């Protein structure tokens, strides 16, 4: 049965969320752009690995090639956070990378390439609340190549651990927590306290009886 195959170099839904350009102006710039946005990278992929892959679509014989690579960094730790910008010398090289490299594997991950309006200082930093990318902020699955659990899931887990520790400490530990959770057990312990003899009170009663008997 025939299948419809979408070309890899077709327009992507990727857009710089901070761009204020209208759709037509954006498309005009993309049609001339020599910059790629590359996503879904492992945090451990190096700049050298990226260069080796994207050099495959370069045309140095025509004066082209990879001009530079800007690694995406966590805003707080300044460590790689899973994306980069690749700048070529020509638009044709960038378009070829979208067509032939996007969707291939690097470090056992399928990389995604999109034409970009162009790198500006500051865009190398993640925009998530925790400093990384927004996708890793909200991610609920475990991804060893991107720091494990998503940042939000990690925060929720840390809050649960802190809450459990505070509950145990404030209540005197697990034993006290179990007593509070069991009203019947707490009542039995209260009754035991009331029934326990008081030696001081018993001595006072004995003294009173002795004085009464001697009068």
Q: What is the pLDDT of residues 24-53, one digit of tens each?
A: 999 999 999 999 999 999 999 999 999 999
Percent of the chain with pLDDT over 70: 64
pLDDT value of position 4: 41
d(CA 185, CA 204): 32
The domain segmentation of the chain, as residue ranges, is 23-141, 150-192
Q: Which residue stretches of 88-133 are H helix?
A: 91-100
pTM over 0.85: no
| Residue 142 contacts residue 149 (beta carbons within 8 Å) | yes
pLDDT value of position 107: 94
Question: Residue 111 pLDDT > 60, yes or no?
Answer: yes
Task: For domain 23-141, give the fold.
Answer: Alpha-Beta Plaits (3.30.70)
Helix (H, G, I), strand (E, B) or coil at 138: helix
Q: What is the pLDDT of residues 153-177, one digit of tens each?
A: 556 566 666 767 777 776 655 554 5
d(CA 126, CA 80): 9
Q: What is the pLDDT of residues 175-211, one digit of tens each?
A: 545 545 555 555 555 555 555 555 555 555 555 554 5
Distance of CA 56 to the CA centre of its chain: 32
């Amino acid at each position: 049965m025939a299948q419809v195959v979408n070309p890899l170099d077709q327009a992507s839904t990727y857009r710089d969320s901070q761009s204020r350009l209208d759709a037509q102006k954006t498309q005009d710039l993309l049609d001339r752009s020599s910059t790629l946005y590359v996503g879904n990278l492992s945090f451990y992929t190096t700049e050298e690995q990226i260069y080796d892959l994207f050099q495959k679509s370069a045309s140095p014989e025509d004066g082209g090639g990879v001009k530079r690579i800007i690694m995406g960094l966590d805003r707080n730790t300044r460590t790689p956070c899973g994306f980069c910008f690749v700048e070529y010398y020509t638009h044709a090289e960038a378009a070829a990378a979208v067509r032939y490299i996007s969707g291939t594997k690097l470090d056992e991950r399928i990389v995604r390439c999109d034409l970009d309006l162009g790198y500006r200082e500051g865009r190398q930093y993640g925009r998530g609340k925790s400093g990384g990318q927004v996708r890793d902020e909200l991610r609920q699955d475990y991804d060893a190549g991107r720091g494990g659990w998503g940042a939000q899931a990690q925060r929720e887990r840390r809050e649960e651990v802190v809450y459990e520790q505070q509950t145990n400490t404030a209540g005197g530990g697990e034993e006290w927590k179990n007593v509070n959770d069991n009203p019947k057990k707490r009542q039995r312990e209260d009754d035991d306290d009331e029934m326990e003899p008081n030696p001081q009170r018993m001595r006072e009663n004995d003294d009173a009886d002795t004085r009464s008997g001697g009068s």
